[in-house]
Structure 1
Amino acid sequence: MRHFARSIITATLLAAAGLNASFAAPAPPAATSAAAPGKMQAATPPGAAIASAHTLATQAGMQMIREGGNAFDAAVAVSAMLSVVEPISSGIGGGGFFLLHDAKTGRDVFVDAREIAPESATPEAYLDEKGELNRDRATNGPWSAGIPGLPAALVHLSEKYGRLPLSKTLAPAIRVAREGFEVYPRLEKGYGGRRAVMERYRGTREVFLADGTPPVTGETLRQPDLARTLERLAAQGFDGFYRGDVARKLLAAVKEEGGRWKAEELAGYRVREREPLRFEYRDWVITTAPPPSSGGVALAEMLQMLEGWDLAKLEPAKRTHLAVEAMRRAYRDRTIFLGDPDFVKVPVERLTSPAYAAGWRASIHPEKALPSELLSGQPAPLEDEETTHFSIIDSEGNRVSATQTINLIYGSGMVAPGTGVLLNNEMDDFALKPGTPNAFGVMGFEANAPKPGKRMLSSMTPSWIESDAKLAVLGAPGGSRIITQVLLAILAYDTGLTAQQVAALPRIHHQWLPDVISAEPGALGPEVIAALKAMGHTVNAGESTWGNLQTVAWDKASGELTGGTDPRNPVGSALVLMRPER
């Protein structure tokens, strides 16, 4: 028996997800759904669906499908286009995670293209003369940048899983980089916030001040150097970025600004294929990101804790309280245990076990908040505007859930002259000084300390959930808030919401420290906030909106294929292309 009824109205569905029932999700745009209820239990989806944070990226991916490519070819095209049109969020100077399902083999694989620390990135290099964390060095310029992984991922996906050559899949991004695209408000606003840092660097000024003024909404932003870099990647594959002319320019740029990278560190970069995490929640099998992502482990902990209650029967304040308490405990474990599994032993099996979740569940008081200070923060024996996500299903049953990033808004702020490559500032995701929060307010200890070649811990949580009746692919940007966005989306799908309703849901978040519930406007009603405060919670219900969730879903019974794109981001889009009837 399902824990949530399928026939209740949208407001009740929202409440069952732990959110304010007075909030009404908008109806799905017509463009996101191509229906045709029909055959029961279709063996494969009736077409392809793509949702991404920019309509040019969604269109580029769908173009690959039309030209005979599969979901993996589409992923290369979408990823590359996002690298061009979303420099505020991602780019080939950064990295990402790609969760893949290969329908032909039935294999799920997690492609880890996270950036790695250069040899120069010792903890001491990020401390000032007083021994405190040098926040400027950690977040701005060459010292904040890890060795990029995204170009290697595009090559890997194309060569191992795709059908089309890079010359075809990268062509849309190359064209838009050369000819330009229309600046939208988020780019203009983000540049204004980072202008002082970005204009330190010669290469950045050459791109973003090419006409003498900062980007303005409605004007055209052209990136001819980035177009040439993408052309080299298309023609030469891995060597087109990590060796040769582009590599020399990257190394020279880092050196010019006082940083230290080595040619062998660039040439030695490799993606890692890892086994995804899988666990069950009610009727769903959830496939998600393993370390060095913290997202999958945290999801498993939170959902398995919450499975102990029939959430639909609880009052909204009680549901929210329980969700927050689960978040608090999972983020505590994230801080203490998680890091790059190639360097530290991460107790994944223990942390994701139902028995472990049951132990945490027993510590949750049903009527009172447990202050985070009472959950020990000492080491135990054992990416908003930032980041972007896209989701793809094709008619063969292949699927991709991908999250990519350069970390903070416009990454390090530094473009390497002559390349168009905006470098990431992912070094801040390491525990550069144990016990000191990073830019997202999350802490870390020795498990996430920087070492040469090590991958920094991430919150990126590309996932999909599948039951006998439905499949949904989903993910989001948002730094440390990514994990809770995906949690709330899964709970919402479980209530029966559509893909577009899931993408539009209001959001709450708690990450252990700081000890506060963050909430978007309208996510919690006044009576719920009052009840939570009476339980001992601190609530900030006046925050601006965050995240940019992108999701696609397939109803196996009806054959309906849908996409949902976050209304917080007006340039995103979801498209469905139906397979021709045979």
Structure 2
Amino acid sequence: MRVELTVCRGLLLAAGLLLSTTSPAAQAAQADAKPASPHATPKHPPGAAIASAHALATQAGLDMIRAGGNAFDAAIAVSATLSVVEPISSGIGGGGFFLLHDAKAERDVFLDARETAPASATPAAYLDKDGELNRDRATNGPWSAGIPGLPAALVHLANDYGKLPLKTTLAPAIRIAREGFEVYPRLEKGYGSRREVMERYRGTRAVFLADGTPPTAGEILKQPDLARTLQLLADKGFDGFYKGEIGNKLLDAVKQEGGKWRADELAGYRIRERDPIKFRYRGWQVTTAPPPSSGGVAIAQMLQILQGWDLAKLDAAHRTHLVSEAMRRAYRDRTIYLGDPDFVKMPLARLTSADYAAGLRAGIHPEKATPSALLSGLPAPLEDDETTHFSIIDADGNRVAATQTVNLLYGSGMVAPGTGVLLNNEMDDFALRPGTPNAFGVMGFAANAPQAGKRMLSSMTPTFIESDAQLAVIGAPGGSRIITQVLLAILGYDAGLGAQQVAALPRFHHQWMPDAISAEPGALDAGTVQALQAMGHTVNAGETNWGNLQTVVWDKASGTLDGGSDPRNPVGKAEVIPRP
């Protein structure tokens, strides 16, 4: 399923979200809509649906379903394949979050595969001689890398939730790494923006300059070392990556480039299973990510604040104003309170309660912006757009929402020689210097300061929403803008949009600091911008497009499955296959 991105020419309706009904995307979705069935709601979906950021990954997941696997087997195949074909966005040298619904056990669980800090990563290690943040060390090379979590997540999924062996579920990724895939423009462009950093490292040059020239759209990129690393993971499980040959090569590479990882830190990495955050918004049960994701807490706050208004009855300017004010307050609390739950005590019951949201709502003036500086109170935080997400539903009702990343474009820029593993640069997501924004303008304080074994705060927000009539799986990349993309998607489904319309929605965003509304081209018309400015908002309209939302939905009333893949990313794909 692929739809060209259309510029929204009409007002954003129904909470500022609906595409103009004159757009091709809206017309197609309306034409495909089926009337609600008068019969009882079916117990299971009529097949399987997968939406991911690359067609090869979607295909790999569907192949696992056809081979008798479930959504969790498909998730392994999709995740590993994305690690091969999207090195700009994610990889087994990074981490991620997997929100799962086990239909047989009727259980929701959140797999935390976030990277962890090595003991060497003290705040002082990231300061220059003047006491300022050393931005190069924080974002490039071995000091910027946390201990990877994604390989452990794939093993955990196979051992505890899947039906197929890793040798089967990793086979597509191994084959594609060995035989190669066609470079697409985003990979070429991203390499150009990070070329100076990436070509510092011998292992990176061996992968991306193997033919003597940088990756060019249309050529075939082969990664034989990565294929071998994935094969060892398939053959030996956890030990195939975190110990033995690959573990030693990772440790040696970090040491040779001046970093400090220990063998016990690598071998000691563990997945955390956590309880998701759950709450109700209108007729929807929302299940979403807990800390160390900041997304679920923020989504709970924003939706419960907005529940106090009938957004559909407001004009576009007032809807955008209220949504932005809810965003502002949620991001302020993100800055102050949230961190790794294994290290930080957080008032989560209060932050996610309807009563607390009502208090925040009471402080919103219906006609005036609240300056962010007035919300500071206590001393008080964007992951890059190049994270990735996929969504899966299978015919038994199992589902997966997974977001994974290496942080910046091509992570740290450093590939460990002989492994094909591109290391993340997630250390920059810690508050390395309290009160100093990271590479994307987000600040943090003590709750998100680095500590040995601690997981850095994230914005990744894999989410399920379910009503009597529908069930949707949602997620996106985009750094701190992940959270607001998921918010707008939920509001879009609530307003009656289809999956592809939700994926294509124009976007706007507010993150407390800086104190401004950001908006994509066409998201806010000139009259709405003028009205928002009159209320006291700073509006940066017409920014470049962001995000890469992937969603699937089961319409229980009509008995249909559908998927939406963000048209901002032309290589993504959503596909549905019927029950055999």
TM-score by length of 1: 0.95
Q: Which amino acid aligns with 1:16?
A: A
Matching residue of 1:310: 310
Deviation at 1:194, TM superposition (A): 0.3
Q: Is the 8 A contact 2:47 2:577 kept in 1?
A: yes
Deviation at 1:52, TM superposition (A): 0.2
How do 1:25-424 residues align onto structure 2 when only pairs under 5 Å count?
26-27=25-26, 40-376=40-376, 378-379=378-379, 383=383, 385-424=385-424
Matching residue of 1:507: 507
**1:21 & 1:220 partners in 2: Cα distance?**
37
Deviation at 1:15, TM superposition (A): 1.1
Q: Is the 8 A contact 2:285 2:466 kept in 1?
A: yes
Q: 1:471 to 1:25 in 2, by over 3 A?
A: farther
Q: 1:439 to 1:118 in 2, by over 3 A?
A: same
Q: 1:350 to 1:366 in 2, by over 3 A?
A: same
**1:569 & 1:33 partners in 2: Cα distance?**
23
Q: Is the 8 A contact 1:563 1:575 kept in 2?
A: yes
Q: Is the 8 A contact 2:96 2:149 kept in 1?
A: yes
Determine what percentage of the aligned residue pairs are the same residue.
77
Q: 1:128 to 1:218 in 2, by over 3 A?
A: same
**1:560 & 1:178 partners in 2: Cα distance?**
37
Q: 1:34 to 1:119 in 2, by over 3 A?
A: farther
**1:195 & 1:543 partners in 2: Cα distance?**
24
Matching residue of 1:476: 476
Matching residue of 1:6: none
- Residue aligned with 1:537, SS: coil
Q: 1:29 to 1:98 in 2, by over 3 A?
A: farther
Matching residue of 2:16: 18
- Residue aligned with 2:575, SS: strand
Matching residue of 1:569: 569
**2:287 & 2:424 partners in 1: Cα distance?**
28
Matching residue of 2:446: 446
- Residue aligned with 2:465, SS: strand
Q: Is the 8 A contact 1:332 1:377 kept in 2?
A: no
For residues 72-129 of structure 1, the C-alpha deviation after alignment (integer angstroms, 9 at most, x for no partner) is 0000000000000000000000000000000001010000000000000000000000
Q: Which amino acid aligns with 1:339?
A: G
For residues 145-180 of structure 1, the C-alpha deviation after alignment (integer angstroms, 9 at most, x for no partner) is 000000000000000000000000000000000000
Q: Is the 8 A contact 1:36 1:559 kept in 2?
A: no
Deviation at 1:65, TM superposition (A): 0.1
**2:342 & 2:506 partners in 1: Cα distance?**
37
Deviation at 1:397, TM superposition (A): 0.4
For residues 467-513 of structure 1, the C-alpha deviation after alignment (integer angstroms, 9 at most, x for no partner) is 01100000000000000000000000001100000000000001000
Deviation at 1:20, TM superposition (A): 7.6
Q: 1:252 to 1:284 in 2, by over 3 A?
A: same
**1:197 & 1:344 partners in 2: Cα distance?**
34
**1:346 & 1:25 partners in 2: Cα distance?**
45
**1:242 & 1:355 partners in 2: Cα distance?**
45
**1:341 & 1:507 partners in 2: Cα distance?**
30
Range 32-41 or range 478-487, more displaced:
32-41
Q: Is the 8 A contact 1:40 1:556 kept in 2?
A: no
Q: 1:103 to 1:11 in 2, by over 3 A?
A: farther
Q: 1:147 to 1:438 in 2, by over 3 A?
A: same
Q: Is the 8 A contact 1:151 1:238 kept in 2?
A: yes
**1:141 & 1:86 partners in 2: Cα distance?**
19
Range 12-21 or range 214-223, more displaced:
12-21
Deviation at 1:37, TM superposition (A): 7.5
Deviation at 1:404, TM superposition (A): 0.3
Deviation at 1:17, TM superposition (A): 2.8
RMSD of Structure 2 on Structure 1 (CA) = 1.8
* 1:493 maps onto 2:493 in alignment: yes
- Residue aligned with 1:577, SS: strand
**1:360 & 1:445 partners in 2: Cα distance?**
22
Q: Is the 8 A contact 1:28 1:500 kept in 2?
A: no
Q: Is the 8 A contact 1:37 1:560 kept in 2?
A: no
**2:467 & 2:158 partners in 1: Cα distance?**
29
Deviation at 1:376, TM superposition (A): 1.1
Q: 1:57 to 1:68 in 2, by over 3 A?
A: same
- Residue aligned with 1:576, SS: strand
Deviation at 1:40, TM superposition (A): 3.5
Matching residue of 2:518: 518
Q: Which amino acid aligns with 2:519?
A: A
Matching residue of 1:4: none
For residues 542-563 of structure 1, the C-alpha deviation after alignment (integer angstroms, 9 at most, x for no partner) is 2100000000000111101000
**1:120 & 1:225 partners in 2: Cα distance?**
28
Deviation at 1:439, TM superposition (A): 1.2
**2:33 & 2:517 partners in 1: Cα distance?**
38
**1:481 & 1:341 partners in 2: Cα distance?**
22
Deviation at 1:26, TM superposition (A): 1.3
Q: Is the 8 A contact 1:384 1:545 kept in 2?
A: no
Q: Which amino acid aligns with 2:13?
A: A
Q: Is the 8 A contact 1:407 1:424 kept in 2?
A: yes
Runs of at least 5 residues in structure 2 that lack an aligned partner in the other structure: 1-7
Q: 1:322 to 1:202 in 2, by over 3 A?
A: same
**2:304 & 2:477 partners in 1: Cα distance?**
23
Matching residue of 2:456: 456
Pairs aligned (count): 568
Q: Which amino acid aligns with 1:171?
A: A
Q: Is the 8 A contact 1:33 1:562 kept in 2?
A: no
Q: Which amino acid aligns with 1:361?
A: R
Deviation at 1:379, TM superposition (A): 3.5
For residues 309-337 of structure 1, the C-alpha deviation after alignment (integer angstroms, 9 at most, x for no partner) is 01011110000000000000000000000
- Residue aligned with 1:16, SS: coil
Q: Is the 8 A contact 1:88 1:385 kept in 2?
A: no
**1:378 & 1:442 partners in 2: Cα distance?**
16
**2:130 & 2:250 partners in 1: Cα distance?**
32
**2:35 & 2:510 partners in 1: Cα distance?**
40
Q: Which amino acid aligns with 1:549?
A: L
Q: Which amino acid aligns with 2:325?
A: E
Matching residue of 2:5: none
**1:167 & 1:329 partners in 2: Cα distance?**
47
